[in-house]
């Protein structure tokens, strides 16, 4: 029996799982919560990487307390994408990391978009690097190494700094089709920038083994391998079994994401579809919205109710909320690229400002934002036959029905809710066993629950009409206006 650990280093905390590759199941878990640093600077969202190390080690130790740690053979790290970790020549952190949800670099994103003739959203790493150069010259002068969050964690574990294509493709500085860095784009930021990026490794390469002091701290053997790891979306795809075409994953968390494996890259010049590589040698086109569970949280808090109380009230309302739409752009938006947009309720009439209506409209608004992404994918020839739903919002049964009916697709639910952490463990197992990652996932496909939510065709037209209102009102309010401009 061999055990493999996966760790997801997220925005709100770290979650660890230990996977038994003989039983084909997770046998223990651990977690550690934390928060984004509070700031009065508009658009700023930062964390210090030391927080990830503290949280990650606490989560791993909790998971290891229930198993024999000496049986652990490999570790795979999943990390929040796009974060910029600036390191000096000695590998020390120069300043707080700017996170995926940091839009302080909106001006830099706009400037780079004009130069590249490709829409770069502020969340991508490239804009954050240029922001550092433009705003903190003293820190820019110290910069010698660029790392992403999961790269930094691998570096702490092994002493080796490297990148892999999945996470690197979320920097905005990557040639996705050819899986290499785009030196021309790098040079538009700085002629020396290419020298700050580490070597790329392949999906089945080993980063290294644990540093002795790390192994001792965790109670693991020094020979434990560290797999390449990747961004959280890439690892969630592995942990959800999404390594074959047609199977798509929708994640309902702080942000909403929609992604699936393809055999060819999707290169969308508008930036609406993120041109990601997968971490198994394929491609992983992805849509990301910045407002998902935050919208439903805002709606239930406004009426002083918990989700269990307000959900039945929303169930009693008709699909489409009798013309009420909740435009969910509470923190601006990434897709569409409206960083300065705001949330709005439209279609209100006398008597419609009720808890059930507003909450259902919030659920529908967050859903329509993801559905818009699916329709963009379809324009590129992508066809989905099944959705797998993950993330905290997937526990809401009404939301499940709304998504199934809006997408008109059946929905299944992975047995293991921590799909990104499980993806790390599965990748570590594949690398240790020297099997191609996609083949290993196919042979050990993560299970799903018995529950299947089938779409209700009778609701199709109501949701289509509500979706059209969502798009029309959003574009009327934000497209080309001061509210939507970068």
The catalytic site residues sit at: 232
Residue 346 pairs in a beta bridge with 325
- Tokens for 146, please give them: 């660029």
DSSP secondary structure string, 162-198?
Answer: -EEHHHHTTSS-EETTTTEE-HHHHHHH-TTGGGGS-
Residues 6+ apart with CB under 8 A from 7: 14, 15, 16, 56, 59, 60, 75, 76, 77, 78, 153, 421, 424
Owner of token pair 């959800």: 240
Owner of token pair 């009426």: 303
DSSP secondary structure string, 260-293?
Answer: E-BSS----TTSSSB--B-SSSSB--EEEES-SH
Residues 6+ apart with CB under 8 A from 351: none
d(CA 226, CA 454): 40
d(CA 448, CA 242): 12
Bridge-based pairing of strands 180-181 and 174-175 is: antiparallel
- Tokens for 148, please give them: 């992403």
d(CA 110, CA 134): 14
**What burial letters (b/e) apply to 441-467, b meaning 16+ CB within 10 Å?**
beebbbebeeeebebeeebeebbeebb
Please count the CA atoms within 13 angstroms of the CA of 129 that sit on its side-chain side.
30
d(CA 417, CA 445): 14
């Amino acid at each position: 029996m061999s055990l493999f650990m996966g760790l997801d280093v997220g925005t709100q905390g770290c979650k660890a799982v230990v996977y038994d590759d003989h039983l084909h199941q997770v046998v223990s878990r651990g977690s550690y919560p934390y928060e984004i640093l509070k700031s009065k600077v508009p658009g700023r969202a930062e964390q210090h990487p030391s927080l990830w190390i503290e949280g990650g080690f606490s989560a791993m130790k909790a998971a290891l307390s229930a198993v024999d740690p000496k049986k652990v053979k490999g570790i795979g790290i999943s990390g929040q994408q796009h974060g910029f970790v600036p390191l000096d020549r000695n590998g020390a952190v120069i300043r707080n990391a700017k996170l995926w949800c940091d839009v302080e670099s909106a001006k830099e994103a706009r400037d780079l978009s004009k130069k590249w003739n490709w829409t770069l959203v502020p969340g991508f790493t490239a804009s954050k690097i240029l922001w550092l150069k433009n705003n903190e010259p003293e820190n820019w002068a110290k910069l010698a190494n660029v790392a992403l969050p999961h790269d930094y964690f691998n570096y702490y574990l092994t002493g080796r700094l490297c990148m892999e294509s999945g996470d690197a493709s979320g920097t905005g500085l990557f040639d996705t089709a050819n899986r290499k860095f785009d030196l021309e784009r790098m040079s538009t930021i700085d002629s020396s920038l290419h020298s700050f990026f580490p070597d790329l490794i392949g999906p089945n390469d080993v980063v290294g083994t644990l540093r002795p002091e790390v192994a001792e701290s965790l109670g693991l053997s020094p020979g434990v391998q560290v797999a390449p790891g990747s961004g959280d979306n890439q690892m969630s795809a592995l942990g959800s079994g999404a390594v074959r075409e047609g199977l798509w994953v929708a994640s309902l968390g702080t942000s909403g994401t929609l992604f699936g494996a393809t055999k060819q890259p999707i290169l969308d010049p508008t930036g609406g579809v993120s041109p990601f590589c997968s971490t198994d040698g394929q491609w992983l086109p992805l849509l990301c919205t910045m407002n998902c569970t935050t919208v439903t949280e805002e709606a239930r808090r406004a009426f002083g109710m918990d989700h269990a109380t307000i959900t039945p009230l929303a169930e009693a309302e008709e699909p489409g909320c009798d013309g009420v739409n909740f435009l969910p752009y509470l923190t601006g938006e990434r897709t569409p690229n409206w960083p300065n947009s705001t949330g709005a309720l439209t279609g209100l009439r006398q008597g419609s400002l009720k808890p059930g209506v507003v909450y259902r409209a919030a659920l529908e608004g967050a859903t329509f934002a993801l559905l818009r992404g699916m329709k963009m994918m379809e324009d590129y020839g992508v066809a989905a036959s099944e959705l797998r739903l993950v993330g905290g919002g997937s526990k809401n049964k009404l939301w499940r029905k709304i998504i199934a009916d809006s997408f008109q697709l059946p929905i299944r639910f992975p047995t293991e809710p921590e799909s990104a952490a499980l993806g790390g463990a599965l990748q570590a197992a594949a690398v240790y066993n020297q099997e191609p990652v996609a083949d290993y996932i196919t042979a050990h496909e993560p299970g799903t629950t018995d529950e299947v939510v089938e779409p209700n065709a009778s609701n199709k037209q109501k949701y289509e009409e509500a979706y059209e209102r969502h798009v029309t009102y959003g574009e009327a309010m934000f497209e080309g206006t001061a509210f939507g401009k970068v």
